[in-house]
Amino acid sequence: MAVQPQPTTGVQARGVLVEKTPLETYVPPAKPSLVGLSRAELADCIGQAGVPENQRKMRVQQLWHWIYVRGVRTFGEMTNVSKALRVELEKHFTIDRPEVVAEQISEDGTRKWLLRLPSGHAAERPHEVECVYIPETDRGTLCVSSQVGCTLNCSFCHTGTQRLVRNLTAGEIAGQVMIARDRLGDWIDRETPNGNRLVTNIVMMGMGEPLYNFDAVRDALAIVSDNEGIAISRRRITLSTSGVVPNIVRAGEEIGSMLAISLHAVRDDLRNELVPLNRKYPIAELLEACRNYPGLSNARRITFEYVMLKGVNDSLDDAKWLVKLLKGIPAKINLIPFNPWPGSSYQCSDWDQIEKFSEYIFNAGYSSPVRTPRGRDILAACGQLKSETEKLSARERQALRAMAMTD
Ligand code: SAH
Ligand code: SF4
């Protein structure tokens, strides 16, 4: 099983705590799920179930098809697999995805699922993460989480105020895509072998910092983009990072997805405040890593995300600096209206200011779409994801914010 909890401790950078508590450990369930395993790992599992070596490749192909093309949830449905093997597999394994504990459907069609995951301690409540499906006319985007909470404390982000953190496993990450297909009836069946799928795009923009859970994210995305399985192309998968510089080039080499950078500020002093990880990896280093992103071209541009915070980062001077900073990088700029959450200390920029900002960038030659907030009525918009059981008290929130802001 690709379970790799990566213990880290808080990192001190120039006297400030950039990251929070160490990661929790993960306790796998008694019967592990086959979801999230590579073909080689799957071959080992069926070897344990008694399949002779010369049959394993063929059996793996069959299982892969049933799990990732047809989306079955029981071994009993795998009709071309021998009864004896199905019984043997059933004894040792499951094809479980994370448990869905709630589904909310917004008036704009956005759907949010609350998922339950085992925690590190039997006595403790299980962890929860969220995942969101956003239907649009030409695509359906699934926003996927990579961690329970986030070890980073961006001051405008709800997820960042969450206490508990553990890395999701590859199975729990790929499992979110499978849950979306389950709930939307989006698997290939006999009636719709070539039918259009609803989930066409993936954005790693849910809870957590995907580049701090590198191996599991890489393994999950290899499964999601596998042509003989879920088959969502890497060009339709976007990984968003707050700027974990050492892993950016690695992501280009080992994951090969599209890249989005949460920039949000054009000066280090402000970015230190908004995205405290900037103290460790300042803007110049971050942009250098972007310039070196493998496969970068005009056809494969990097998206720079910029949350519009009233009176904080939304002046025309900021827009000018932004254009200067990105010179020479094939880039798109995505302006995100700030999504307020209970207890947040920022306001969203006024609409005409967002328009002026966007116009400046557009006139400088950048595509600058303003991301329309979706699913606001079900708190499903960017940066609002947070598990229900992890709400912090106002005092704890204040302490966290102070921790992120103090120098
Ligand atoms: N940790 C990764 C991916 C998850 S956050 C990252 O930071 O990139 C996905 C995007 O939502 C990021 O650009 C993040 O900065 C933005 N975001 C977080 N909180 C937000 C909020 N309250 N309103 C708007 N965007 C927010
Ligand atoms: Fe973590 Fe991203 Fe939120 Fe920052 S914006 S706290 S990196 S999830």
Ligand 2 center–CA 150 separation, angstroms: 6
22 pLDDT tier (thresholds 50, 70, 90): low
The angle formed by the CA atoms of residues 324, 244 and 272, to the nearest 5 degrees, is: 60
Ligand 2 center–CA 137 separation, angstroms: 28
Six-digit token pair at 313?
């980062």
The pLDDT of residue 5: 36
Burial of 196 per CB tally in 10 Å (0-12, 13-18, 19+):
exposed
- Ligand 1 probe mutation, 303, 313, 336, 349, most atoms within 8 A of CB: 336
pLDDT at 349 over 90: yes
pLDDT of 137-156, one tens digit each? 999 999 999 999 899 999 99
pLDDT of 266-305, one tens digit each? 999 999 999 999 999 999 999 999 999 988 888 899 999 9
Known catalytic residue: 359? Answer: no
* Amino acid found at 92: H
Is 313 close to ligand 1, i.e. is its CB under 6 Å away?
no
Distance of alpha carbon 297 from alpha carbon 291, whole angstroms? 10
Ligand 2 center–CA 173 separation, angstroms: 17
373 pLDDT tier (thresholds 50, 70, 90): confident
Domains of the chain: residue spans and CATH: 39-92 (no CATH), 98-406 (3.20.20.70)
Is 338 close to ligand 1, i.e. is its CB under 6 Å away?
yes
Known catalytic residue: 131? Answer: no
